[in-house]
């Protein structure tokens, strides 16, 4: 399949390109009809819902928007919308960190409403900004503009993070937002990250630092476009592979060090009863036989087929366990 070159990149796309350009190549090689029908992860649903709540509260002009009862209703609506995009196996209340993110989102929403009320300037929420030539664009969570003509970019984060400064990817995204606002709106002098777990980080920034980050972003886009149609050379196997949505189709990852939670091989035998499946697999890497227990009955691969499976539980050196809602398998 032909992959169209990237003409305009958002900060999150740049982050994906820097992490592993091949991931983006494989993603774009998947037809849009399949891509849009794939369920999103619980973590992604939770993060998107939290962002939607914050945006809705901050865009509102109704002072009662941050009342507990109103916040609860907005939260429920946002969670319902996102839950419908998941595989629907686990109810939202059981999602990892659900209560932490919910509490933190309410706290952050209330605090930001007060901050914006006291602001001697203007605030914009999720307003799209584009570079003059259109090659970069983004929608920063919050831009605070002060009377002296300076601006601060605030990015909300809902995932887990060790305390301290942002990681490279987070900082890169924030810098690109900063570059865009600085280039087309007003001078950005400060960047800030507000995490729903209560931590905040902020730092002064200069125009030249923002321009360097934008130049690095455009280099990543250029590198991707030059690699087309085959992005294999941009693969960066590493920690990101464990949760990579493209891992089943990524040959590079399977020729390197296969994570302990992944299995590749040929099915030797498949045993299926009314409610249990056990398959024996001869592994590709050392030709040993291992068992994979609990593959859903409708996707149990027939003997002789080749499989790749990821995000499995390992019960013992010779046995893997299918993990409902997490594990994925490709049969060929
Ligand atoms: S599995 Fe790893 S190397 Fe392959 S596309 Fe994903 S992140 Fe990149």
Based on the domain organization, do 152 and 67 belong to the same domain?
Answer: yes
Q: In angstroms, what is the span from residue 98 Cα to ligand 1's centroid? A: 28
Strands (E) across the chain are located at 122-125, 129-130, 137-138, 142-145, 150-157, 187-195, 200-204, 263-272, 277-283, 289-293, 306-310, 313-316, 319-321, 328-331
Based on the domain organization, do 126 and 273 belong to the same domain?
Answer: no
Q: Please give the residue range of the domain that contains residue 31.
A: 11-226
pLDDT at 88: 86
Higher pLDDT, 316 or 20: 20
- Contacts of residue 316, Cβ cutoff 8 Å, sequence gap at least 6: none
Question: Is ligand 1 within 6 A of the CB of residue 231?
Answer: no
Q: In angstroms, what is the span from residue 189 Cα to ligand 1's centroid? A: 36
Q: What is the CATH number of the domain that holds 283?
A: 2.40.50.140
Does residue 74 have a pLDDT over 70? Answer: yes
Question: Is ligand 1 within 6 A of the CB of residue 250?
Answer: yes
Q: In angstroms, what is the span from residue 234 Cα to ligand 1's centroid? A: 9
Based on the domain organization, do 189 and 149 belong to the same domain?
Answer: yes
Task: Please indicate, yes or no, if residue 265 is contained in any of the structural domains.
Answer: yes
| Confidence band of 102 (pLDDT split at 50, 70, 90) | very high
pTM, entire model: 0.84
pLDDT at 1: 66
Does residue 121 have a pLDDT over 70? Answer: yes
Based on the domain organization, do 174 and 310 belong to the same domain?
Answer: no
**224-266: per-residue pLDDT in tens?**
999 999 999 999 988 788 788 898 889 998 887 778 889 999 9
pLDDT at 34: 83
Query: Nearest C-alpha to atom 5 of ligand 1 is from which residue?
Result: 23
Task: Please indicate, yes or no, if residue 248 is contained in any of the structural domains.
Answer: no
Residue 185 DSSP one-character state:
T
Looking at 226, 242, 273, the residue that finishes a domain is 226
Based on the domain organization, do 323 and 267 belong to the same domain?
Answer: yes
Task: Please indicate, yes or no, if residue 6 is contained in any of the structural domains.
Answer: no
Does residue 325 have a pLDDT over 80? Answer: no
Looking at 207, 226, 245, the residue that finishes a domain is 226
Task: Please indicate, yes or no, if residue 28 is contained in any of the structural domains.
Answer: yes
Question: Is ligand 1 within 6 A of the CB of residue 15?
Answer: no
Query: How much of the chain, in percent, has pLDDT values that exceed 90?
Result: 72
pLDDT at 324: 80
- Cα 232–138–39 angle (5° rounding)? 60
Question: Is ligand 1 within 6 A of the CB of residue 235?
Answer: yes
Number of domains in the chain: 2
Does residue 179 have a pLDDT over 90? Answer: yes
Q: In angstroms, what is the span from residue 76 Cα to ligand 1's centroid? A: 34
- Give the mean model confidence (pLDDT) for residues 16-37: 90
Task: Please indicate, yes or no, if residue 178 is contained in any of the structural domains.
Answer: yes
Based on the domain organization, do 109 and 205 belong to the same domain?
Answer: yes
Based on the domain organization, do 62 and 105 belong to the same domain?
Answer: yes
Question: Is ligand 1 within 6 A of the CB of residue 247?
Answer: yes
Task: Find, among 283, 284, 293, 332, the residue nearest to 315 by Cα.
Answer: 293
Mean residue pLDDT across the chain:
92
Based on the domain organization, do 214 and 304 belong to the same domain?
Answer: no
Based on the domain organization, do 269 and 209 belong to the same domain?
Answer: no
Question: Is ligand 1 within 6 A of the CB of residue 189?
Answer: no
- Give the mean model confidence (pLDDT) for residues 185-192: 94
Question: Is ligand 1 within 6 A of the CB of residue 20?
Answer: yes
Query: How much of the chain, in percent, has pLDDT values that exceed 70?
Result: 99
Based on the domain organization, do 168 and 296 belong to the same domain?
Answer: no
Does residue 151 have a pLDDT over 90? Answer: yes
Does residue 135 have a pLDDT over 80? Answer: yes
**285-295: per-residue pLDDT in tens?**
889 999 999 99
pLDDT at 148: 94
Task: Please indicate, yes or no, if residue 253 is contained in any of the structural domains.
Answer: no
Higher pLDDT, 307 or 315: 307
Query: Nearest C-alpha to atom 2 of ligand 1 is from which residue?
Result: 241
Residue 283 CA to residue 306 CA, distance in Å, equals: 10
Residue 313 DSSP one-character state:
E
Q: In angstroms, what is the span from residue 239 Cα to ligand 1's centroid? A: 9
Question: Is ligand 1 within 6 A of the CB of residue 245?
Answer: no
Lowest mean pLDDT among 56-70, 125-139, 155-169, 206-220: 155-169
Position in ligand 1 atom list of the atom nearest CA 241: 2
Backbone angles phi, psi at 70, to 5 degrees: -70, -45
Based on the domain organization, do 189 and 310 belong to the same domain?
Answer: no
Task: Please indicate, yes or no, if residue 70 is contained in any of the structural domains.
Answer: yes
Based on the domain organization, do 157 and 197 belong to the same domain?
Answer: yes
Residue 300 CA to residue 284 CA, distance in Å, equals: 19
Task: Please indicate, yes or no, if residue 21 is contained in any of the structural domains.
Answer: yes
Position in ligand 1 atom list of the atom nearest CA 19: 7
Position in ligand 1 atom list of the atom nearest CA 244: 6
Q: Which residues of 51-70 are buried (b: 16+ CB within 10 A; e: fewer)?
A: bbbbbbbbeeeeeebbeeee
Q: What is the CATH number of the domain that holds 176?
A: 3.90.320
Question: Is ligand 1 within 6 A of the CB of residue 277?
Answer: no
- Give the mean model confidence (pLDDT) for residues 309-321: 89
């Amino acid at each position: 399949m032909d992959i169209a070159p990237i003409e305009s990149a958002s900060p999150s796309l740049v982050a994906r390109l820097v992490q592993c350009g091949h991931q983006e190549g494989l993603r774009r090689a998947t037809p849009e009809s399949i891509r849009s029908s794939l369920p999103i992860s619980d973590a992604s649903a939770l993060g998107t819902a939290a962002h939607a709540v914050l945006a809705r509260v901050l865009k509102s002009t109704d002072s009662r928007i941050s009342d507990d009862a109103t916040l609860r209703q907005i939260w429920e609506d946002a969670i319902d919308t996102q839950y419908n995009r998941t595989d629907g196996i686990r109810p939202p209340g059981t999602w990892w960190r659900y209560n932490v993110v919910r509490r933190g989102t309410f706290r952050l929403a209330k605090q930001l409403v007060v901050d914006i009320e006291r602001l001697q300037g203007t605030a914009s929420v999720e307003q799209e900004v584009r570079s003059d030539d259109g090659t970069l664009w983004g929608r920063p969570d919050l831009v605070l503009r002060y009377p002296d003509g300076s601006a601060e970019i605030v990015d909300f984060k809902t995932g887990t993070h060790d305390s301290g400064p942002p990681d490279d990817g987070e900082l890169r995204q924030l810098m690109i937002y900063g570059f865009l606002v600085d280039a087309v709106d007003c001078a950005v002098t400060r960047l800030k990250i507000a995490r729903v777990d209560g931590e905040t980080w902020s730092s002064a920034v200069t125009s030249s630092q923002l321009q360097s980050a934008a130049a690095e972003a455009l280099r990543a886009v250029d590198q991707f476009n030059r690699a087309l149609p085959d992005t294999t050379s941009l693969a960066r196997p590493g920690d990101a592979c464990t949760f990579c949505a493209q891992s089943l189709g990524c040959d590079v990852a399977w020729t390197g060090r296969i994570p302990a939670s992944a299995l590749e091989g040929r099915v030797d035998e498949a045993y299926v009863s009314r409610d249990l499946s056990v398959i024996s697999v001869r592994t590709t890497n050392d030709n040993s036989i291992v068992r994979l227990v609990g593959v859903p009955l409708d996707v149990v691969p027939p003997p002789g087929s080749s499989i790749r499976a990821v995000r499995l539980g390992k019960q013992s050196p010779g046995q893997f366990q299918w993990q409902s809602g997490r594990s994925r398998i490709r049969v060929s």
